[in-house]
Amino acid sequence: MENVKKELREIESYDLVLILDDTVQVTPFLNENELISWHFDQSVGRSVKGINLFNCIYTHHTFRSSFKDT
């Protein structure tokens, strides 16, 4: 984590924001497939069956975007 913080501090700017977030949408009653599988959920401290989502939000004073990927 310290390596990431160092890299981010080098490109830090007051006119842009980059937010990275991952979450697990829990789906305990559905069958496993390409989308639904086991992922570690830090909020409960164990693996849960569900969909792992990664969100990336980038905001700059001249550009705003939101990307979502599974």
Q: How confident is the model at residue 2 (pLDDT cuts 50, 70, 90)?
A: low
- Residue-level pLDDT at 47: 96
pLDDT digits (tens, 9 = 90+) for 11-65: 777 777 778 888 999 999 999 999 999 999 988 999 999 999 998 888 777 765 5
* Alpha carbon 8 to chain centroid, angstroms: 16
Q: Does pLDDT of 69 surpass 90?
A: no
Q: Domains of the chain: which residue ranges? A: 2-69
What's the whole-model pTM score?
0.59
- Residue-level pLDDT at 68: 58
